[in-house]
Structure 1
Amino acid sequence: MSSLRPVAAFALAATMSVSLAGCGINSVPTAEENAKARWADVQNQYQRRADLIPNLVSTVKAAGAQEKDILVQVTQARAGANQVKLSGDQLTDPAKMQAFERAQGAVTLSLQRLQEAYPELKSQGNYTTLMSQLEGTENRITIARTDYNTAVQAYNTRIRTFPDAVGARIFYGAKPLTPFAATTPGAEAAPTVNFGNAS
């Protein structure tokens, strides 16, 4: 009889661990951390763009000061975007996500205006190189946002479906993360960069 107790205790422990594993005890935080990591990738690409902008503005300033308004807009949009921070723990707040999206959209639009206002600079090597780098950065931003949204969808689905929903609510109090959705007109598209060689 006494030899059955350890077996029964082991069986009970094994059953509970399987039950807990089936309730998202590990999969929910794993999915959440994956989404936060993808968000960090988004922020990294926006930071890359912010770092390139001062060089672009300096290049344009050196070529001519007649369009100071646009340079001021680009600089202000960059400064505004740098002030709007969104940590991984704030990804459940749609209002903060929209503020972040609006700030980044303002940078995109100001870069489009700058590119349109300086057709004569397209022949200059520095300007062309910087605009090409910005175009590549915009593409990286798009990919990073897509990867983030995919991770958010996986996490949100996991915390809403059985059996992971049980552990998500009981152990973590999990809330859905907010996906990226462009709110600024034109922000969903990368700035058009045409160096005059389009057919």
Structure 2
Amino acid sequence: MDEWTFLDEVDVLSKWPAEHRKVVTEGGKWSERRDALEALNKLMEENPRLSTTSLTIYGELMDELRKILDRESNIVVVSTAARTAELLAQGPPISDQKIKRQEEKNVRDAVSSALFAVSQTTIPERIQKDLMEGMALPSPEVKQTLLEFIYKYCKFLDAVDVPFFKAVTPLVVKMASDSDVTVRDKACAALGSIRRLLGPGAAAFLGPIATDNAKMEKGL
């Protein structure tokens, strides 16, 4: 029996001051938004097993976090919000959230962790749409973060979701020829990770690149 079993569920949102939630949902100074989110993060770090009776409210909060990740101009607030999303995802099962704000490395790292945490609470089908939309964006930073996620995700999975890989892998193959060298490297790593997971069946998705060992071995 793991440690999680012995933890009590805690409704952290009831412990989060109302003025903090108002700042996050209605706006305020960037430092106030940061402090409000940091206060919530501290509550969740101290009480990681979140109450399942507050799923609707958690979902509403994730919607607000998504707005911050999409629109917020202050990088500190974005990074803090990404950490909040990660902690929320590790509590009750929250899924189908768009997390695509990655202009700077500290934000990309936080978003990558949040995306991976969300993926652990849901089935591949629920994150497929967001992944495909993100990979279609022109930003190399977005591509890099999502490719890094796919690399890690394949190492986490113990079962193959064929429709998911059938949809996502061609986009990763395309990125292996991207004009950005970092995108190309991360795409090759992701493809190698996909091949490791799928085994011989990967050839059906990878096409000619499946025989390019120099590229495929980056994900092993």
TM above 0.5: no
Query: What TM-score, normalized by structure 1, do the two folds share?
Result: 0.31
Q: Which has the larger radius of gyration?
A: 1
Query: What TM-score, normalized by structure 2, do the two folds share?
Result: 0.28
